[in-house]
Amino acid sequence: MTEKKTAKPKAKPKSSKKKKKVNLIRLYSEMNKLAEDAVDKEVIKRFKTMVDSIEEDITKVSLSAILKEPKNVDVYSFHDGLQPYIKHYLFMLKRSKKKK
């Protein structure tokens, strides 16, 4: 009797790669540029932790609205977890414009 050797199936690549949240990371870097004190840095640190733990990104349109038209941003249209960070970004933006 001859034994057939069966090929072992190759391991499938893990499809659970972390999805990059490009738009939230961009907002995070913009917040870093405006940080002035320990409170700002703590808020930004918590925001980064949240970005790493959530599954979804914001849309590019939403990001451009936040960055280019901050006066017209409806903070309440975002997920509840993101609202305080977007509010803080808008506060930091206002504060930096007052100092100029």
pLDDT in tens, 9-30: 555 544 445 678 999 999 999 9
64: containing domain: 22-99
Q: What confidence score (pLDDT) does residue 15 get? A: 46
pTM for this model (two decimals): 0.79
When pLDDT is averaged across residues 50-59 and rounded to a whole number, the result is: 93
Q: Is residue 11 part of a domain?
A: no
The number of domains in the chain is 1
pLDDT at 59 over 50: yes
Q: Is residue 15 part of a domain?
A: no
Tokens read off for 8: 């072992």
Q: Is residue 17 part of a domain?
A: no
Helix axes 22-34, 60-68, angle to 10 degrees: 20
Q: What confidence score (pLDDT) does residue 100 get? A: 72
3-state SS, residue 54: coil
CA distance 87 to 74: 10
